[in-house]
Amino acid sequence: MKKEIRRPTGAELRILQVLWDRGPSTVREVYRILNSGRNVGYTTVLKLMQIMTDKSLVERDENCRPQLYRPRLPREQTERELIKDLVDRVFGGSARRLVMRALGEKKASPSELAQIEKLLNKMERGEK
């Protein structure tokens, strides 16, 4: 049986990004950061974080007040799972098609291209 991927929505990803960047945070702290860039309501953030707890995207520490939330998975693991899902669902399992599309849609900087080349060289040598 294939492991179910809990795909966060766009709003949930924004909350996860705040938690990955800041570490464990209260709803009010997440709200303040999100509200600085867009008009979002406190109760909306609270409800989303409750839903994210139910979906096991975040964990809530109920031993302290106010309660602290933290991502259940590290950023890198979530990115890996989302990329695998995207490659399978959208690109028919082809990583080549994903990379070609990504590079064709947004110009990569010389630094990014150097990092990509370095990664490809490591892969050719069989390194991870």
SS3 letters across 68-91: EEEECCCHHHHHHHHHHHHHHHHH
Match domain 10-71 to its CATH number in 3.30.1490.20, 3.20.20.70, 1.10.10.10, 3.40.1210.10: 1.10.10.10
pTM: 0.80
pLDDT reported for residue 116: 87
Number of neighbours of residue 31 by Cβ within 10 angstroms:
21
- The closest alpha carbon to 11, from 48, 60, 53, 46, belongs to 48
Q: What distance in Å separates the CA atoms of residue 100 and residue 69, rounded to the nearest whole number?
A: 37
Q: What distance in Å separates the CA atoms of residue 118 and residue 121, rounded to the nearest whole number?
A: 5
Confidence of residue 1 (pLDDT cuts 50, 70, 90): very low
Q: What distance in Å separates the CA atoms of residue 128 and residue 123, rounded to the nearest whole number?
A: 7
The answer to whether residue 2 scores a pLDDT higher than 80 is no
Q: Which residue has the higher pLDDT, 3 or 44?
A: 44
pLDDT reported for residue 64: 86
Express each pLDDT in 8-61 by its tens digit.
999 999 999 999 999 999 999 999 999 987 888 999 999 999 999 999 999 999
> Can you give the residue ranges of every domain in the chain?
10-71, 75-124
Q: Which residue has the higher pLDDT, 33 or 107?
A: 33
Q: What distance in Å separates the CA atoms of residue 15 and residue 58, rounded to the nearest whole number?
A: 10
> Is residue 40 within 8 Å of residue 31, measured between CB atoms?
yes
Confidence of residue 104 (pLDDT cuts 50, 70, 90): confident
